[in-house]
Amino acid sequence: MSSVFDDLVGQEHIIDILKGAVAASRTGSDSQEMTHAWVFTGPPGSGRSSAAIAFAQALICPNKGCGGCNECQSASTGGHPDVEVIRTEGLSIKVEEIRELLTRVAWAPSMGGWRVVVMEDADRLTESAANALLRAIEEPGTRTVWLLCAPTLHDVLPTIRSRCRHLQLRTPSIDAVTQVLIERDNISPTMADFAARVSQGHIGRAKYLATNESVLSNRKTIMQLPLQLGSLTAAFQAAQTLIDLATEEANASSESRDEKEVEKLQEAYGTGATGRGMATGAAKAVKELEKEQKSRSTRLVRDSIDVALLDLATFYRDVMMVQSGNTESMINTDMREQIESYAANSPSHSTLNKINAIMDARENLARNSAPLVTCEALMCQLARK
């Protein structure tokens, strides 16, 4: 029988725990296996939010997560009254948002089972938001299950994480990702192997790359940048190219969604409403929505720059491998000749510095540094011999 846990690639160790919890949740007794606060951690792409959502489905599904019933379907698309999925649009989750959430989930679950809250970016909780959440998690005897997701346990406030059961997801192997792309998504073996390798176990990214012509070609352009850093002018140009491509990619994914949201909102206020009050109300709401969309788009651009920087890092990682005599585990095999020639013509001691410079730039961007300036400084460092 198929199950919502089938899509969690390489996570057998936690699937057993989750299935045990689902079984225990049905007995009604307060067993150790089922608890009402969990933290899912794992590197980007390991599927921490997919795991949390699968668990949410299994908790409310009459068949423990069949994937096919109404409950399972509506839970995954955000339409189930007892499953709340919190995706952060901005850079942080504020205390007002948590207070609003707590009022929404204060009622008993409509179907008599569990109410599940999946918080995809618990690392973005502000301190006051986290404290508001803590009080809810501590409340005994509720039927609400909290599933928090974060990159690492350190990203969650100690007071919160000490009350949660922790599940650590693994980065799936490249072979496992390749297999899924071939079998689940009908992607050709050559493309699946390439996408899985360069995405380093990030399933979502691998699929996106393998099924998206323009994303693939943008990546190619970005991977050529290290070979074009002959002068300072070229370094500044490279920074601009990286920002432009990352912005373009981020916008492509958000523009159509933005438009649909505005349309839906206008529809809710009545299209062609002529009454004065109606018009002002709608205009105000659209303005609010556009503000939210802008903050989401800022975040998407930052995420997209981060992906580009991680891609760039794999170039220097391959160079370092070649320089230390290991040519077996190359990630960017499609650039083998260029990487080998770069490795031969550049001092090996500078390669590690370049990788570190990329990681520093990512950290600075995560702390809200200005993207273009950060990338310009980085490219100048990468341009050094």
Total residues binding Zn ion (CB under 5 A) = 5
Strands annotated E in the chain? 37-41, 83-86, 115-119, 144-150, 165-168
Burial annotation 308-325 (CB, 10 A radius, 16+ → b, else e): bbbbbbbbbbbbbbbbee
Which span (71-79, 88-96, 239-247, 298-306) binds Zn ion, by CB under 5 A? 71-79
Contact flag: residue 75 with Zn ion (CB under 5 A) = no
Which one among 56, 72, 117, 210 touches Zn ion, defined by CB under 5 A?
Answer: 72
Contact flag: residue 358 with Zn ion (CB under 5 A) = no
Residue 156 and residue 38: Cα distance in Å, rounded? 12
CB of 66 to Zn ion, least distance (A): 4
Contact flag: residue 69 with Zn ion (CB under 5 A) = yes
Which span (69-77, 88-96, 187-195, 327-335) binds Zn ion, by CB under 5 A? 69-77
Closest listed residue to residue 147, CA positions, set 55, 256, 44, 239: 55
CB of 54 to Zn ion, least distance (A): 11
- Residue 116's Cβ-count burial label (10 Å; 0-12, 13-18, 19+) is buried
Which one among 23, 24, 66, 289 touches Zn ion, defined by CB under 5 A?
Answer: 66
- Nearest residue to Zn ion by CB is 61
Residue 136 and residue 351: Cα distance in Å, rounded? 49
CB of 4 to Zn ion, least distance (A): 7
Contact flag: residue 7 with Zn ion (CB under 5 A) = no
Q: Are 354 and 381 in contact (CB under 8 A)?
A: yes
Which residue, 57 or 171, has its beta carbon nearer to Zn ion? 57
Residue 265 and residue 270: Cα distance in Å, rounded? 9
Q: DSSP string spanning 72-112? A: HHHHHTT--TTEEEE---SSSB-HHHHHHHHHHTTSPPTTS
Residue 60 and residue 297: Cα distance in Å, rounded? 33
Contact flag: residue 61 with Zn ion (CB under 5 A) = yes
Which residue, 67 or 371, has its beta carbon nearer to Zn ion? 67
**Which residue has tokens 């909290």?**
146
CB of 55 to Zn ion, least distance (A): 13
C-alpha torsion angle, residues 281, 267, 71, 60 (rounded to 10): -10
CB of 57 to Zn ion, least distance (A): 6
Closest listed residue to residue 309, CA positions, set 62, 47, 44, 18: 44
Which residue, 5 or 316, has its beta carbon nearer to Zn ion? 5
CB of 3 to Zn ion, least distance (A): 9
Which span (54-62, 314-322, 343-351, 364-372) binds Zn ion, by CB under 5 A? 54-62
226, two tokens:
């290290």
Write each residue from 252 to 291 as x if it is in contact with Zn ion (CB under 5 A), else as -, in one continuous string.
----------------------------------------
Which residue, 113 or 151, has its beta carbon nearer to Zn ion? 113
User: Within a 10 A sphere around the Cβ of 73, how many other Cβ atoms?
Assistant: 15
Q: Are 63 and 73 in contact (CB under 8 A)?
A: no
Which residue, 69 or 289, has its beta carbon nearer to Zn ion? 69
CB of 72 to Zn ion, least distance (A): 3
Which span (57-65, 154-162, 167-175, 340-348) binds Zn ion, by CB under 5 A? 57-65
Which residues make up the interface to Zn ion (CB under 5 A)? 61, 63, 66, 69, 72
